[in-house]
Amino acid sequence: MSTVRTRIAPSPTGEYHIGHLRTCLYNYALAKKNHGQFILRIEDTDQKRFVPGAQERILKDIKDYGMTWDEGPDIGGPYGPYVQTQRLDVYQKYIRQLLDKGLAYYCFCSEDRLNEMRQIQKTAHQIPKYDRHCLNLSKGEIETKIKNGESYVIRLRVPDNQIITFTDAIRGQITINSQDIDDQVLIKSDGIPTYHFAVVVDDHLMKISHIFRGEEWITSTPKQIILYEAFGWEVPIFIHLTVLMDPSGHGKMSKRKGSVSARSFLDEGYLPEALLNFLMLLGWNPGTDRELFTLEEFIQEFSLEHLHKKSPIFDRKKLDYFNGLYIRQKSNEELFPYFRKFLPAASDEQIKILIPVLKERLIKFSDLPGQVKFLFEDIDYDKELLLKKGTSPELATEMLTKTKELLSDFTNLVSRIQNLVSTNAWNTGEFFMVFRVAICGSAFTPPVVECLPALGKEGTLHKIDIALQKLK
């Protein structure tokens, strides 16, 4: 295959996983670097788990992370349709070829019989495999059963005792004996193909040259190699990526331990370019210490040779570092829509005041509402918090009363408050603890004086009055 053609093939059975986004990123980079095509195909053969609207959300997720495709269900292309349930006639054509060659066969076994068979095999500590009860049915028997309306599936006739070998771009040559492979179902009883059959037919007809997927699919790859060989088709290059490990280092990322969908990270206030940069390095490195890459720079640097064999840890602290770095690289104008999204109650003028004050220490945008909650409501707190640094109620009252008098004029606030502290020989840490708690209702706040213009004179004086009341 002279042209590099990669694909992602999400299933509309739920939200798009962050691990799938990394796979998407690597597919995208390889295709673009080699001036090839990046294809999006929807694999919806699992109709029992189909979630309405999931397809549209998945496509939006990928676009919101800055990637687009050259062929897909929304834009078409020369090898469509790009939704599997719209290709059922295609699969019928190719299953007929296998049946005619004796490489596939009808199976009429009931679910009860299959369950009983598996239980016997389990008790005998055998590999669970279909026992080929229906393999040698005559043509007449098959026709009679079908005519009588008996339910059936179509299974692959796996070759006996054959060594199946394929080369993984990360791990090298992998070999498995066909004796360990089940006669898998290719067409289900409802006429819809299984994943293993449809993916091979589609990847061949769509001329896919490289297949990225998780390492959990390694044991299934020989099943697909058998199908490629049965049709006499060229086998694409397989790249089985490591799984993303939970931050604890124990087990892969799981919904039980926090958000794992690609959309959830955007909802939490991570920049798409920061998350992509973080994902680039989870399973790949450039061979140097460099860490920061735009998407275009990553495309130029990406190579299969630098993909890792060891599963990386999804280190959220490192992600936070990247996100903060990317936030600080953006202009105030670029940050405005993000502040607007996460601070819907703020006015445009307030946002313009807050951006330069908060951007230098902001980790993710979802932190904003908590940081500036005091702008929009009165935060209740105990009097003792005002006196956290051992300040007496009398001194705290003096500090706030004199500050209130100074705030009749809102110009040059920083220097004038510093002069007030100096003139009265107050301890700077003590003063700002009292003032911070009075304004924000918390001991841990953004730069409080710089935030006062966003709160306004009236709001500021109101907060001080509340604190003075507590000190009485």
Mean pLDDT for 171-175 is 95
Looking at the DSSP bridge assignments, the partners of residue 241 are 214
* 198-to-41, 58, 81, 86, 191 alpha-carbon distances in Å: 11, 20, 13, 12, 12
pLDDT at 246 over 90: no
Average pLDDT, the chain: 95
Distance CA 118, CA 127 (A): 9
User: Could you write out the three-class secondary structure of 147-188?
Assistant: HCCCCCEEEECCCCCCEEEEEECCCEEEEEEHHHCCCCEEEC
Q: Which of 60, 255, 309, 457 is catalytic?
A: 255
For the stretch 133-172, pLDDT in tens is 999 999 999 999 999 999 999 999 999 999 999 999 999 9
pLDDT at 249 over 70: no
> How many beta carbons lie within 10 A of that of residue 321, not counting itself?
15
Residue span of the structural domain in which 398 resides: 372-471
Residue 441 in any domain: the answer is yes
For the stretch 360-395, pLDDT in tens is 999 999 999 999 999 999 999 999 999 999 999 999
Distance CA 45, CA 12 (A): 9
pLDDT at 305 over 70: yes
Residue 428 in any domain: the answer is yes
Residue 435 in any domain: the answer is yes
For the stretch 25-38, pLDDT in tens is 999 999 999 999 99
Tally of structural domains, the chain: 1
Nearest to 217 by CA among 168, 147, 172: 168
Residue 411 in any domain: the answer is yes
For the stretch 81-120, pLDDT in tens is 999 999 999 999 999 999 999 999 999 999 999 999 999 9
Residue 376 in any domain: the answer is yes
First-last CA distance in the chain = 82
Residue 432 in any domain: the answer is yes
pLDDT score for 179: 92
Mean pLDDT for 246-268 is 80
Nearest to 262 by CA among 251, 278, 249, 250: 278
Residue 278 in any domain: the answer is no
> How many beta carbons lie within 10 A of that of residue 6, not counting itself?
27
Confidence of residue 225 (pLDDT cuts 50, 70, 90): very high
Look up 255 and say whether it is catalytic.
yes
pLDDT score for 253: 80
> The CATH number of the domain where 426 resides is what?
1.10.10.350
Residue 127 in any domain: the answer is no
Q: State the Cα torsion 288-290-294-299 to the nearest 10°.
A: 0
Specify the amino acid at residue 371.
Answer: Q
> How many beta carbons lie within 10 A of that of residue 79, not counting itself?
16
